[in-house]
Chains A and B, each alone.
Chain A
Amino acid sequence: MAESVVETRNLTKVYRDFWGRRKKVALNALDLTIYRGEIFGLLGPNGSGKTTTIKLLLGLLFPTSGDAYVFGKPAVNVEKNERIGYLPEESYLYRFLNAEETLDFYGRLFDIPPDVRRERAAQLIERVGLANDRKRILREYSKGMRQRIGLAQALINDPELVILDEPTSGLDPLGTRWMKDLILELRDQGKTVLMCSHRLDDVQDVCDRIAILYNGDLQTLGEVKTLLEDANTLELRASNVKLTDELKADLAAVLQKYGGTLTSFGHPTTTLEDLFLRIVEESKQRPGRRFLPPTEGNKSAATPAAPASSGSTNSPNNSNPAPASANANGGANASHASSNKSGKKKKR
């Protein structure tokens, strides 16, 4: 079994007012273990205790009862912070510093030698795509840029555990994809990532395991793959086949033979994210206007691109009656409904 990086036992946080009266139970007896090398997602609606958990793990709050350990040390221990990188929800950095100065400052807090600090700062600025803005003060940065430099400061110490609070908050789709790729890259480097996010698709895309909190209580904990798997439904994908009533009837007959029922049948839709990224990528290759406003004779011209018939695919939308579609790889592919996530990871 992998080494545990984060461990909470009966971790409880009760907020009290000035007179010590209980105001809110933010977290109730949380038992959680996060293992080395995994991406762990904390999910839950507002006020469910996600951020409280992270703050307790970082020593920003003290538990009312229970214990929190990070790398086997109590959460309030300062030394453990040597191995942690933290990106807060909003990138709370000094806005009068520029990117280089910001990384230099946080590098100094880790007591990193000057030459290493300079080299690492330059690499990180390059990595987060701010090379051209390294001398601009953060006040002039957009929210996305601040999130990028925030991530860079979280990585300045080459941490073993990266804690990300709403990492894609404020990022555009390009930035979101970049952030998700980076999180996966961190995992591939052997780092442990703990993230919490409101954006379920982001969590689904990158997390190995998730915990769902509601009102301070842990509701569900487990692998994303297992939790999302619908064992009663079968997904079938095929390419180079026309969507005809005859095919539908044949498939229904085959399924009926094995005791199943055809519930949906049609072309899959891509995600909006994929569509957006593809258009941006194409625009980079071929600059210029591509959008044609609708005219009397050409109403459909407003559509910038036809529904994807190639590229990455997503599982059929429930509203879409078509259960299967063509696959870019050209080969038929049948899998459980949740397996599309692993397919995406492979692509990246």
Chain B
Amino acid sequence: MNSLVIPLLGILVLERDPIGYADLPGLLKTWAQDAGGFAAVGLVLWMLNAYLTPPPGGTSEQRPRVTKLMLMLAILAAVVYACAGGLMYAASLKTATPTSTTINPNAPTPMATPQIGTLDRAADWALVIGGILAIIAIAEPFLRDLVRLRWRRIFALARISFKEAIRRRVLFVLIVLALPFLFPAKWFFAIKPEDELRSTVSIISFALSAVLLLMAGLMASFSIPNDVKNQTIHTIVTKPVERFEIVAGRFLGYTALMTLILFGLTALSLLFMRLTRIDQAAAEETLRARKPVYGKLGFKSRREDFSGTSVGREWEYRRYVAGGSQANPSPQRAIWSFYRIPSSLTDKPVPCEFAFDIFRTTKGEENKGVFCNFVFVSWKCPQRLHPDKNVWEWVDQAKRTEYEKEAREARVFEASIKPNDPRWAKVEALAEKYGFFEFVSKEVFDYHTLSIDVPAGLFKNALSETPKSGDGSTEIPLVQVYVQCTSPTQFIGVAPYDLYLLESEGVFELNFFKGAIGLWCRLVIVIGLATACSTYLSGVISFLVAVFLFIAGLFQEFVEELAKGTSVGGGPFEALNRLVKNETLTTQLDPTPTVQVALFSDQVFRWLLRRFINVIPDVENFDWTKFVSEGFDIRPEFLIVNLLFLIGYLLPWAILAYYLMKSREIAA
């Protein structure tokens, strides 16, 4: 099969969903609990420090002390936290079940099965309220001092950072370092024509990330420590400058500088990209900004709990549905349910694009893919599995008969009609009338994205009324797509983002800049982290801390596994034990005293890691390279949530920086 015959379209491979508005309430709650926990610890330390070292001579202004409001809020927070503790204890008593005391060293720490009861919910909310109180208490002096900040002073300090970087030729070095990577990748590497732009985008993104993040980290880490070392800070803090203004000035200065450089280099790379000849296949794949509508993927078969088959692939991103013959069809279906259908889909035929993985249990025919049937139904045309046969049928059989009759008359029944076919009008009319459209025997190839045009009438049918569920609690999908593999002994592998309805196309250039916003967010994180650390630590240590946290963020998934105890081979102490004893990862260890100690140490380590994990920035969340390189539009929603995420992460660091700077003896 000549791959160029098939339209080459991109597909997103995302191991987790991008964070959108829907996730915000949950995120806010988690943030209040996590940040609140740190705030509570900070509050305790601060109050201990304040009461153990009273201000000299009773002068309350010598250092920020414990104000009445802070004390009151701290007491309230303590009370609420005590209540939360009590509720959690009560909940644990209620749900406690006798467990075996036998130690199975190889069993991962069991994940808490969430049986959310009233007590649990109350404890959860108590933690949120306690957290918010602790945050307000610790932030009270910070908020009070915020009104004293003057933008002109902050701007002056930001300008200094800017000028410093330019006069010390940092800007020049940055551009020189980044410039070679901005040229098209095909100039340097042998790349498949269709991957040309994809590779260029990836390389540009990687190079800019590496160079800019390193530079941003270095500049921000060393700025305040250098000011202290060179004593230039003495001439600043002896002016009417709030100390946090120095932190804010440095932070904003470097952020402005890196913003300028980032968007300058992005524009330059885009210019290079557009000035060079782009392969047609690459342009079709990447030089786009598709606006897809995604559905939720589910599986159905005769078994109620069917959730797709695992074919033993190491990467379990996709689940598989088995194919069957016409005589012995497979009941397995991959079903995408669309709960949101934009009204713009009712204007013209809507491309439904997809790319599946094929798993063959027998050798297929040369140059032939596997065949799939696609059934698109609106909520008005529900389907069910026949009780005896492995066939999915309409719930309303009378309607089905009526549809079949009309479709046969128009010669569109079980046919694969395309919009350029004269019968398309009838397909549209039937889809609008019955909320049903099928495309049979579509040949599917491994990892080649294909497209089916779906009549707009189907969406008109779905949007003509609002579905009402019987109990009112479950949401009914407006449109569902049933995918069936019709090649016997073959499987198709599907993942949530493997099929989508193409709503419209955006502008690639704009999308390219939107992708840069993700890198910008990561730059801001590094600058914020480094600046906050540098208010207390030396330049080198600040840089190392920022780099360490950022890199830990890249491996957050692994760190989470370690923290939850789900990593294969156990925690570090158990792993060390295995290493010393030359045991494999899966061998069951004897519960010797050494093993017991190792397991206990791992539990302590995990507890500490669970606290630490909240300090790690979720940098992967800000990476939009895949969207740009695969030609998918980055929704403004994602970017807005990114910004909120950024603020949520940096705010506690800002408060920490405020305290460190305010309580620091500059000349000590």
Are B62 and A92 neighbours in the complex by a CB distance under 8 Å? no
CB pair A78 B155 closer than 8 Å = no
Contact residues in B for A81 (Cβ distance below 8 Å): 238-241
For the complex, what is the distance from the CA of A88 to the CA of B472, rounded to whole Å?
74
CA of A111 to CA of B59, assembled, Å: 28
Identify B168's interface contact among A63, A65, A66, A96, CB under 8 A.
A96
CA A66 to CA B155, docked complex, whole Å: 36
The residue on B at minimum CB distance from A12 is B56
Binds B, one of A54-62, A168-176, A236-244, A306-314: A54-62
B240 contact from A74, A76, A110, Cβ within 8 A: A110
Query: Are A92 and B153 CB-contacts (below 8 A) given A55-B667, A65-B57, A74-B59?
Result: no
B326 at the A interface (CB under 8 A): no
B164 interface residue (CB < 8 Å to A): yes
B50 at interface (Cβ–Cβ under 8 A)? no
Please state if B62 and A63 are interface contacts (CB–CB under 8 Å): yes
Report the stretch among A101-109, A120-128, A188-196, A331-339 that lies at the interface. Answer: A101-109
Q: What residues of chain B lie closer than 8 Å to A64, measured between beta carbons?
A: 56
B199-238: which have CB < 8 Å to A?
230-232, 234-238
A-facing residues in B238-270 (Cβ within 8 Å): 238-242
Residue from B152, B164, B235 within 8 A of A86 (CB atoms):
B235
Q: Is B668 an interface residue (CB 8 A)?
A: yes
Asked whether B402 is an interface residue with its Cβ less than 8 Å from the other chain, the reply is no
* A9 / chain B contacts, CB cutoff of 8 Å: 57
Q: Which residues of B contact A15 (CB under 8 A)?
A: 668
With A and B bound together, what is the CA distance between A92 and B226 in angstroms? Answer: 12
Quick check: is A204 within 8 A (CB to CB) of the other chain? no
Q: Is the CB of A94 within 8 A of B238?
A: no
Most buried by B among A59, A62, A73, A137: A62
Which one of B230, B239, B665 contacts A109 once the chains associate, using CB atoms below 8 Å? B239
Q: Is there a chain B Cβ closer than 8 Å to A153's Cβ? A: yes
Size range of the chain A interface in the assembly? 35 or more
Give how many B residues have a beta carbon under 8 Å from the other chain's beta carbons: 35
- At the interface, is chain A mostly helix, strand, loop or mixed? mixed
Look across to chain A and name the residue whose beta carbon is closest to the beta carbon of B245: A109
Most chain B beta carbons < 10 A, residue from A60, A79, A81, A84? A60
CB-CB under 8 A for A92 and B239, given A66-B56, A108-B152, A111-B153 = no
Out of B148, B157, B238, which one reaches A60, CB within 8 Å?
Answer: B238
Q: In the docked arrangement, what's the CA distance between A74 and B667, Å?
A: 18
Contact indicator A96/B668 (Cβ below 8 Å): no
Partner of B62 from the list A74, A79, A105 (CB cut-off 8 Å) is: A74
B163 within 8 A of A: yes
Is B17 in the interface zone, CB < 8 Å from A? Answer: no
How far is B234's CA from A150's CA once the two chains are assembled, in angstroms? Answer: 12
Nearest Cβ on chain B to A99's Cβ, whole angstroms: 14
Bound together, the chains give a CA A74 to CA B59 distance in angstroms of 7
Determine the distance from Cα of A286 to Cα of B30 in the docked complex, in whole angstroms. Answer: 83
Partner of A67, one of B56, B148, B163, B168: B56
Answer yes or no: B160 CB below 8 A from chain A CBs. Answer: yes
Smallest Cβ distance from B191 to chain A, in angstroms?
43
Q: Looking at the complex, which one of B152, B160, B235 makes contact with A88 (CB distance below 8 Å)?
A: B235
Binding site for B on A (CB under 8 A): 9-10, 12, 15, 55, 58-67, 73-79, 81-82, 84, 86, 88, 90, 92-94, 96-97, 101, 105-106, 108-111, 137, 150, 153, 157
4 closest A-B pairs by CB: A108-B156, A60-B667, A96-B167, A92-B231
